[in-house]
Amino acid sequence: MVSETVLRALDRACQFAADRRNQCQSDFNRLREALATANANLESSQSEEQNVSAHNQSALNQIRELNDYYNGIIDKSGLQAIQAEINRLSAQQIEIHRELGQAREQRMQPTVS
């Protein structure tokens, strides 16, 4: 027959193991949730980066198109509006490029702690 002391020790060991299992399961669930959040953030950041990149490319194409047109004209007198538009688009493209850098930086930041 097993003594009470051994039974109590085995009971405590079983309780400890059960508590540890519950803690591990809780940690696992928390980490799985953090991973899901990180994946969602990554997808969102990638989408934002793609949108800003497309906007940047569109601005570059507009600038290139206007520059090609402007440079193809022999008599440029009276075409200050085109040059002003090129300057405006260039300033806008610089801002978009800055946003693109921020979007890329955001995508590269770790999100799981």
112 pLDDT above the threshold of 60:
no
> Could you count the other beta carbons within 10 Å of the beta carbon of residue 100?
20
Residue 52 located in a structural domain: yes
Residue 113 located in a structural domain: no
The domain of 12 spans 4-108
- pTM as predicted: 0.63
pLDDT at 91: 93
pLDDT at 77: 82
Residue 67 located in a structural domain: yes
φ/ψ bin of 40: left (φ > 0), alpha (ψ from -120 to 50), beta (otherwise): alpha
Tokens matching residue 67: 């520059």
Say how many domains are in the chain: 1
37 pLDDT above the threshold of 70:
yes
